[in-house]
Structure 1
Amino acid sequence: AKDINEASKQFRVMNPALQIATLNDDANFTMEFQIGVGKGYVDADGHRRIDSPIGTVFIDSIFNPVTRVTYDVEPVSSAKGSLDRLVIEVHTDGTITPENALNHAANVLIDHFSQFVSEEAEPVLKIVEEIDEDVLRIRDLLDSSIDEMELSVRSHNCLEAAGIERILDLVSKEESVMLKYKNFGRKSLSELVEKLGEVGLSFDMDVKRYMLETDH
């Protein structure tokens, strides 16, 4: 098909690697072809017309400009809690940009779903829980790893040995309980009290108001 691009500058074949025919060195080949537009896949019979010239060879057509689509859902941390992000990768044959292809697909999807919308349907009430910024900040802190506290090696190792991985696990305990852990002394306790105080946390906290239902 690349030979067509070389013979004419009026249009461009986007799949030049397509094999049309195999010719010998002394072959003389002349071809007239018809260009059309369509959607999806159309087999050869779908192109047949009564007035087509004798000798016309009908072939299957693939009008889909999108060659490959992949998607992935990634977790995203934010001040509003754990969210998901949709990542879509679109590849086309060059006749349309991936952005335009995605935009067209979105409009088709909207059009399909609009068939289920009734003008007489009662509006859905949206219940939004208003949470102040401090609650959101502490919620994120509680879900953080103890690694983010930048503790001394001794204190960090003691917490790991005790199975304390998140700050939530730490602030849920009393100071007296912490002193019962192996190799955990007053110095380590003072360090933790100071580190927690810097971000507005403390031992034996009531964390219920900061937790989502999925955290229980």
Structure 2
Amino acid sequence: ELITTVYIGFLGLIISSFLVFLVEKDAENTKFKTYADALWWGVITLCTVGYGDTVPQTWSGKLIAAFCAILGISFFALPAGILGSGFALKVQQQQRQKHLNRRRVPAAMLIQCVWRSYAADENSMSIATWKRHMTPCPSPTTEPRWKNNTSFVSRFSTKRRDRSSQGSNNIQSPMVPRQLRKAFTAGDDDISDSFNR
């Protein structure tokens, strides 16, 4: 829009300067001796400065000058309006983006919190939830899969070893149920008896 306005204003300047030059070149005491003088007058009139050093003498030249002044007002007011509305839209867009950013993070946190609560619910029937606490951990196989004889569990660096229970059958882990502790500490003959109690 701005480029179109500048282009039309430039065409108006060339045409009005040429018309004033054609009308005023044969008048008495004319100031429009060359087309450059007419172009100077056109620029000053379109910009609505109006120095008064070159003015038309004939009525037809004055009508063209009036039209040129109105054209200058309209074509210099239009770009100002276009630029002003463009800046206003830009400021409004930045404020809208700032407001959206201010609301986006709390909304995402709320959605995440509700989803975690729903996913952790034991009564949830959704297939989409990932219930890691419901699936049993795979036990290591008896056949070694690796070239060396290290087991699957001993490869983890986070494996904890109780120093007091190394070398004895004393299992005191809080994760092992009491019945299993009794089964491990009892002899082979008493295993079935400890589970029946």
TM-score range, shorter chain: under 0.3
Larger-Rg structure: 2
Instruction: Report which of the two has the higher share of helix.
Output: 2
* TM-score, normalisation: structure 2: 0.24
TM-score, normalised to structure 1's length? Answer: 0.22
Higher relative contact order (CA 8 A, sep 6+): 2
